[in-house]
Structures are given as structure tokens and as C-alpha cells.
Structure 1
């Protein structure tokens, strides 16, 4: 019962982390750029995501559009695209393995060691997904912090870390916690090797002769 509760907690953490990864991938708020001019009327802000970019003219109205060309995307976001997608796929496969592990193990004669192998495999996928999402958001956050303030003539450009980056760090923590938990649960399943070495006992009659000698 204790193992089952720990396993459920790890799976829930991984699922929530996977949902947070989806938000990180979809939200157009990886990098927020504010154009600081001399007058407040002309102040504009831009937010860039992996797939779209949005602009706000300062009056509360915003417009979003897809990137017209790959040249519009900065190298950090361009690298983060496939990394985050791979993290999503890896976490999804790990969730599927965790949910249907009972079906897989029943096909293998109910061997508990097989359950442990499936749990460890899903945990490894969660850990891999967490590392990938960490690399993506850390690389982008590092570039933003290094270019926080850039003077450009009469105006200045201030760059800030967007909300999607913070959600990405949360997704990393949840996926890592879920992966470590699932791996620990997988190692707790006993190795039922004694069942394979068990030999059947011959049935004998009251006189002590094996029953196979009788027709």
C-alpha cells in the first residue's frame, strides 16, 4: 500500500510537470522586451515565444502573429523549440508506460520484476524530460539576463524573463521529482527468480511409487 501511494504521488507530479511543460511550450512569454522612450505614450512592449510573437502598444491592446521567417527567431528560442518538443514527447511516453504497466506485466506472467523495470523506464523518461526542459529555459534565461538593458539611441530596450520561463523551472522540478520517485519505486519490486528455479514434485501413491508408472 505504501509503495502504491508513493507511486501515485510520483505519477501525479510527473503529469502536472508535463502540463506545465505544455504551457511553457505554448505561451508566447519567454522573453518580454520593453521599449523605454522619453514619453509614456510611445512606450511599447513585445513578448516572444517559441511559436508566436506579440506586441502591446501601451493601451492594453495586443496583437500576436506567427513568425514570418526563421530569421526572426533568436538562436536561444530556435534551439529551445526542438528541445521542449522532445521533452514533451519523452514525458508523455513515460506517463503512458506508468499507466498501462499493469497490462504489460500481465502479459509477462505477472512477474513483479517486470513491473519494476517498467516503472524505472518511465522514471528515466521523466528525468530526461526534466533535464531537457531545464536546458531550454536556462539557456534562454541566461541570454535574457546578459542583455537585460541595451541602449539604442534616444530610446532604450529593457528585456525581462517571461512567465513561460518560470513555469518551465516549475515543470523541471515536478518532472524530476516524479522521475526520481518512479525510479525508487521500480527498485523496490522484488526479483522473483526463485519461481523460475522451482521444480514440481512427483505425485506418488500410498506405496511410494510414482503415479507415472501406472497406465
Structure 2
């Protein structure tokens, strides 16, 4: 049950990471205009994203313009676009594969170890997607901070960190954590599979007929007399059973044959 709980938690964390990455990719709030120094503009603010640039006028109007030319974009923006799109694709594939391999689903029930491996593969996809989301978000964050504290940068070109950068960082860590849980549940299932079938703490089971007959290891029966290992006669036996006056309590130990 612990493995199933980890799989469910990892799946929902990966789903939240996918939704957060999708919102961060679509919305244009990656960079906000920094109102510092002599930055006096007629608009109340400008925001930039991966696909468009929007201007919020002081009158309340909100106008957006998409980036029409891909080749005219900077290299870091093109790379950020590609990484975010690939991250979304990997997250979607990872969640689909994880559903097929989770213990709470009926898919691949008769496959045995293959079902666990499929769940682990879905976790690896989510891990990769989380790292791919973290790269462009960290890259853009570093660029914005460097430009903000650059004294040679004009105030009109300085921007602050947008909300999508914070959301992207959180989404990346959610995807990484969810993928790690799925991979951990796969490893736990592999380690726990070898311990099945053990009974009585790893000892040998008793025979079906019950406990074995215990005889005095120091007594040997010779004809009608019982002689112990020390050479002392214990008296005649009746029907192969020593007399009640000469029966010794069974001592813990092993005889020469190895049986108790």
C-alpha cells in the first residue's frame, strides 16, 4: 500500500506541475516593466512572455501583440520556447505512461514486473520534464536580474521578475518531486518483491502431522532394556516404552543424528 500511495501522490504532483508549466508557457507575465529612476512612460506597464508582448494603458486598455517572426527573436527566447514545449510533451507522456503502470489501474495487470517498470518510466519522463522547465525559467530569471542591476542599462529597458517565472519554478519542482515519487515506488516494489513467500520469520515450517516426536537423546533402547549414553541401565521397557520411574525430562540439545 505504501507503493500505491507514493504512486498516487507522484501522479497528482506531476499533474499540478504540468498545469503550472502550461500556464507559465501561455501567459505573457515573464517580465514586467520596472518603474525605477527616470522611467516615465505613458503606459502603466509592459509585460513580456514567450509568445507575445502586452501593454497595459493608463486608461485601462490591455493590448497584446504576438511575435510574428521567429527568426527575429533572440536566441535565448527561441531556446526557452523549445524547452517549454518539449517539457509539456514529456509531462503529458509521463502521466499517460504512469497511469498504465500504477497499481490502482487495471491496465497491464497480468504483466507482473512490466507494470512496475512502466510506472518507473513515467516517473523518469516527469523528472526530465521538470528539469527542462527549470532551465528556461532560471535562464530568464538570471537575465532579468543582471539587466536590472546593470548600471549601463537604460531605465526604460529594465524589467522585473514576472509571476510566470515564480509559477514556473514551483511547477518544475512539483514535476521533479512527482517523478521522483513514481521512480521511488518502482524501486520499492523491486526490493519488496524478493521477500514474498517467506513464512515463520524465514524458518522451516513444521510437517503437516504436527510436531515431531521427541525422544531422550541420552537413551538408547537395546532389547528389553533402556541404556543411556553413559552406560547406565534404566530398567525394562514395556512395549518399547521406558518405565515411568526412569523417564528423564527432555533436555534441550541435539543428538548425534542432528534431530531434537
- Give the TM-score normalised by structure 2: 0.65
Tell me the equivalent position of 1:205: none
Displacement, 1:12? Answer: 0.5
- The DSSP-based 3-state class of the residue aligned with 2:17 is helix
1:39 and 1:82, CA in 2 relative to 1: closer, same or farther beyond 3 A?
A: closer
Aligned residues: 190
Tell me the equivalent position of 2:28: 28
Residue deviations 1:57-114 (CA, integer Å, cap 9, x gap): 33332101211323553332221001000000001001001112245523xx331x11
- The DSSP-based 3-state class of the residue aligned with 1:50 is coil
- The DSSP-based 3-state class of the residue aligned with 1:100 is helix
Tell me the equivalent position of 1:196: none
- The DSSP-based 3-state class of the residue aligned with 1:19 is helix
**How far apart in 1 are the matches of 2:6 and 2:25?**
29
Tell me the equivalent position of 2:130: 130
Kindly indicate whether the alpha-carbon contact (under 8 Å) linking 2:30 and 2:163 is maintained by their aligned counterparts in 1: yes
- The DSSP-based 3-state class of the residue aligned with 2:111 is coil
The gaps in structure 1 that reach 5 residues or longer are: 194-215
RMSD over equivalenced CA pairs, Å? 2.6
Tell me the equivalent position of 1:110: 111
Q: Tell me whether 1:73 sits opposite 2:73 in the alignment.
A: yes
1:35 and 1:151, CA in 2 relative to 1: closer, same or farther beyond 3 A?
A: farther
The gaps in structure 2 that reach 5 residues or longer are: 195-260
Which segment is superposed worse, 97-106 or 123-132? 97-106
**How far apart in 2 are the matches of 1:41 and 1:82?**
33
**How far apart in 2 are the matches of 1:78 and 1:135?**
13
Tell me the equivalent position of 2:94: 94
Kindly indicate whether the alpha-carbon contact (under 8 Å) linking 1:50 and 1:80 is maintained by their aligned counterparts in 2: yes
1:180 and 1:151, CA in 2 relative to 1: closer, same or farther beyond 3 A?
A: closer
Highest relative contact order (Cα 8 Å, sep 6+), 1 or 2? 1
**How far apart in 2 are the matches of 1:40 and 1:188?**
59
Instruction: Decide which structure has the larger Cα Rg and report it.
Output: 2
Displacement, 1:31? Answer: 1.4
**How far apart in 2 are the matches of 1:39 and 1:133?**
32
1:20 and 1:48, CA in 2 relative to 1: closer, same or farther beyond 3 A?
A: same
**How far apart in 1 are the matches of 2:92 and 2:172?**
14
Tell me the equivalent position of 2:9: 9
- Give the TM-score normalised by structure 1: 0.78
**How far apart in 1 are the matches of 2:30 and 2:55?**
13
